[in-house]
Amino acid sequence: MGHTQPAVQLDPTETLDPDRFMDYERSVLRSRLVESILSVIDRPNMRVCDVGGATGVLLQKLREHSAYPIDATVFEVNDAYAGRMAHPSIRFEHGSIIDNDLPSGSFDVVTCRHIIHHLVADTIRDTLLLQKKAIAELIRITRPGGYLIFEEQVNLVKPFSRAVYHLSKLANRAKFNWKYFEAGNVVISFLTPAEISAMVGVHAANGTIAVEQENLSRRAVELRWKLTLLMSRGGDMLYVISKNV
């Protein structure tokens, strides 16, 4: 009997644009994520990890507004950000949430924003496996009694989501760049709200976590994205999850 090959992530250095993401990451400062995280920082020196946190803009915001000092870590697959931290007190650790050596229960609070749709493989099937694994790993590195709080961009129409994946992968491989539509560098595969809810729900069903908040907000879509139709039905899912065991 043959063995199923594990899903392999496409090389992030080929499917991500670190310079563009540095501009984009500042949008987290207006995110619901900030207040959600601050609400659970209830004692000094809680270990907070931002997975895919680039230059640590979110963590710096938390440092400035938390009632208590925090132990802040960026866990990031792209080491291009290592020397660009928003504050020297923010620790940078290089690695992938898909394949990491972080001990279980490493952090009091784990967070990420708009990261899961960047975890892509060569097929939709393998991409979904990677995204499921990422959620499992985010939960694993959260300590019992701690929180996983994340926000993820979703596409409300499954066929549109799949089309975006195939078209972005095609543009990436053809080296076709169209800056107006931000096409050519980044490969993305959005989940639907039902898909991400199911991935999280597996862990809630076995008692590992409790979902305290699961909230979809529709996003205002720029005209250029409305014109594509494929990106016209988007939103953001916010999760506040407590870790039980």
pLDDT of residue 73: 98
Answer yes or no: is pLDDT of 151 > 70: yes
What are the domain boundaries of the chain? 12-150+188-218+236-243
Hunting for tokens 């279980």 — which residue is that? 104
On the question of pLDDT at 1 being above 60, the answer is no
pLDDT in tens, 197-219: 999 999 999 999 999 999 999 87
pLDDT at 26: 72
Containing 92, the helix (H) or strand (E) segment is strand 91-94
Q: What is the pTM of this model?
A: 0.90
Q: Which amino acid is it at 28? A: V
pLDDT value of position 25? 73
Q: How high is the pLDDT of residue 227?
A: 46
Side-chain-side CA neighbours of residue 187 (13 Å): 23
Q: Give residue 12's pLDDT.
A: 86
Q: For the sheet containing 209-218, what is the strand order? A: 91-94, 70-76, 46-51, 107-113, 142-155, 234-243, 209-218
User: Is the domain covering 12-150+188-218+236-243 a CATH 3.90.1200.10 domain?
Assistant: no
Contact 63, 72 (CB under 8 A): yes
Q: Poorest-confidence range of 37-41, 181-185, 233-237? A: 181-185
DSSP label of 127: H
Q: How much of the chain, in percent, has pLDDT values that exceed 90?
A: 71
Please give the full DSSP string across 31-60, using - where no structure is assigned: STHHHHHHTT--STTEEEEEET-TT-HHHH
Separation of alpha carbons 121 and 119, rounded Å: 7
Over residues 143-147, the mean pLDDT reads: 98
**Mean pLDDT, the chain, as a whole number?**
89
CA dist 25 and 126 (Å) reads: 27
> To 10 degrees, what angle do helices 158-173 and 124-140 make?
100
| pLDDT attached to residue 212 | 98
Tell me the pLDDT tens digit for each residue of 5-54. 788 998 888 887 777 666 667 777 778 999 999 999 999 999 999 999 99
183, 184, 119: which is closest to 150 by C-alpha? 119
Q: What are phi and psi of 55, to 5 degrees?
A: -95, 10
